[in-house]
Structures are given as C-alpha cells and as structure tokens.
Amino acid sequence: MLHLFRSVALPATLAFSAMLLAGNAHSAEEVPHDPCPALLQEDIGKLRSSDTIRLCDEFAGYPLLVVNTASRCGFTGQFESLEQVHQRFKERGLKVIGVPSNDFRQEASTDEETARVCFVNYGVTFTMTERQQVTGEGAHNLFRHLNRDSGQPPRWNFHKYVVDREGKVTASFDSRIEPDSRAIIEAIEAVL
C-alpha cells in the first residue's frame, strides 16, 4: 500500500511543479523587458557627419560618461582629460558621449569649427554628437532624462553625468570638476 501511495503522489507533485513553472513563465511573458533605458530612446546626429547615432544600439547596457561641451569655453581644455578617461576605461566598457551645445553661448557657429576643436586640436576619439539643446523644455531627450534623474541640469558647459548599465544616473559633476578627478574616477569605477 505504501508503494502505491508513493507512485501516485510523485506524479501529482510533478504536475503541481509544472503548473507553477508554467505560471511563472506566463507571468514573465506578460511583463516585457525593454533593454533600452528611457534616456537612450531618441536618435541623435553625429558631429560633422550625415550619420545618425541610434543611442539604444550604441550605448544600451554600457556605463556612460555624458558631457555637454562647447568649443569656445574656458573649460574646453577638459577635452584632453575626457579623452584620457575614455582611453583609460574603454576596454572595461565605458562609453563617453560629448554633446556640443550653444545653450551658454560658447559653441562655435559651425559644425566644421566644432569638429576641428574636438578632433584636431584635442584628438577626441569618443562619440561627439551634433549640437543639441541641453537645458529647458527643448532639451534633447538624453538631457531631459539626465537633468530630471540627477536633479542637476547643466548650469554651464562641461557638466558631467555618470550613468550605470541600466541607464540610471549615479553621479553628476559641475564644470569645475575635471573629468580625471578622483571623484569622477571613483564614480566611473563604481559603474564598470
């Protein structure tokens, strides 16, 4: 009799387990996972190119350092240390994105001049976008999210945001903080 009980109980237990697993699989299907965070859900033009950067394709799942730049600013020399940070951490997955903006009236009047400052004068190899608004209602989607999530919209050029692999802003630094400062390096290392 005991033998019969075991053979009957075992299939019932397996059937119950199968129902639980099927229920879990079904609920996972009902909640689709979007691998692209909201701040990357709008394309952006590439500096001095007809190419468009599909932010989700290029940057989703990577730690980011995003900076609003200007080629005629007293902080323009930070391009040099931004490039050094890019070179130091690119093998570990960090992506650096420079976004030129004339919000503070210090960007060159042409893309050609902006590109010359970035690529020729400072040897930038990280991603540079075309000019964008980074503050206010007209800000590009990337900066609308950075500004909202950090609570610190740029008050000047070369404001820096560190973003983790899930698209969450983990740190924000004003213009006076050098890209290779200890505080920024520590924030970057925390998201790698």
DSSP 8-state assignment for residue 105 = S
Alpha helices in the chain (DSSP H): 2-30, 55-59, 78-89, 111-115, 141-150, 182-191
Helices (H) and strands (E) in the chain, counts: 6, 7
How far CA 93 is from CA of 12, 48, 87, 89, 116, in Å, comes to: 49, 25, 11, 7, 27
The strand pairing partners of 127, in sequence order, are: 97
How far is residue 17's CA from residue 11's CA, in Å, rounded to a whole number? 10
Active-site residue (options: 36, 56, 73, 118) = 73
Alpha-carbon gap, residue 137 to 89, rounded angstroms: 33
Answer yes or no: 73 catalytic.
yes
* Active site amino acids: 73
